[in-house]
Amino acid sequence: MLNWLFGHPQAQERIRMNSNIPRSIVVSLGLTIFLASAFAQVAGFAEITYPTQGDRLQGLVTILGTADHPDFEGFELAFAHDPNPTGTWFPVTDRLRTPVQDDRLALWDTDEISPGTYQLRLTVFAQSGTSVEATVSDLQLGQEVAGEAPAPSFGEADTQPKVPADGEAAEAMSPQSLALPETAEATIGRLLLLGAAGATAVLMTFGMYTVLRPRVREYMGRLRVRQLRRERRQRRAGRDR
């Protein structure tokens, strides 16, 4: 970006045509556009619009929301006890490969789940290995409330695993369930990406400072010389009077 601004013939011609604009402003504008486009490429969106926090659910539940990414690879839905001290999540569906925008994400059969308080998680994966998440907590399953309308649902759901109650969790866990969640790798990848982006921004800022410092000094020196010449002419004009 900096080489183009200072070395490209068209860029130099445009800078000469706008000689009243300091070159530092031109470089700052180009750097801002570059960083904005770079960060826009890694943005993603994960949102669960239904159910919402505190909802009481029964039967076949339609999960609504958005799962999208510019580099979309797939998304997954999972649920767990709330709170979840063991970090154990149970899949609602297998990984789905079609992005969804403000529509049905999946069907969730809550009849096969022990009554209790749960949380629901949506994870959107990018082909680069990064991911974004959305979580809804405090979902009451299997607790019927008189006069309350059932959650919107339709179609047939995939078979759901039987979730043990809180007191039975430790006894019923298999060695596979004690493994680290799959999203741990995605979390590490996201942290590494953020660290690399921060380091890149620091290096670019330092490089821009190194490049601009002599030019800024030269520009300020020219302004100072012009000011001194103007003051000298004014003093001479005052003496002539």
Give the pLDDT mean for 175-197.
64
Residue 135 pLDDT greater than 80, yes or no: yes
Weakest-pLDDT range from 23-32, 125-134, 146-155: 146-155
The average confidence (pLDDT) of the chain is 75
Weakest-pLDDT range from 8-12, 25-29, 92-96, 198-202: 8-12
Phi, psi of 2 (to 5 degrees): -65, -40
Distance CA 117, CA 84 (A): 10
pLDDT at 222: 81
For residue 24, what pLDDT band results from cuts at 50, 70 and 90? Answer: low
CA distances from 236 to 24, 72, 228 (A): 35, 72, 12
Residue 130 pLDDT greater than 80, yes or no: yes
pLDDT at 196: 77
pLDDT at 127: 92
pLDDT at 184: 65
Weakest-pLDDT range from 15-29, 152-166, 188-202: 152-166
In terms of pLDDT, which residue wins out, 93 or 16? 93
Residue 4 pLDDT greater than 90, yes or no: no
What is the third-level CATH fold of 45-181?
A: Immunoglobulin-like (2.60.40)
Domain residue spans in the chain? Answer: 2-40+195-236, 45-181
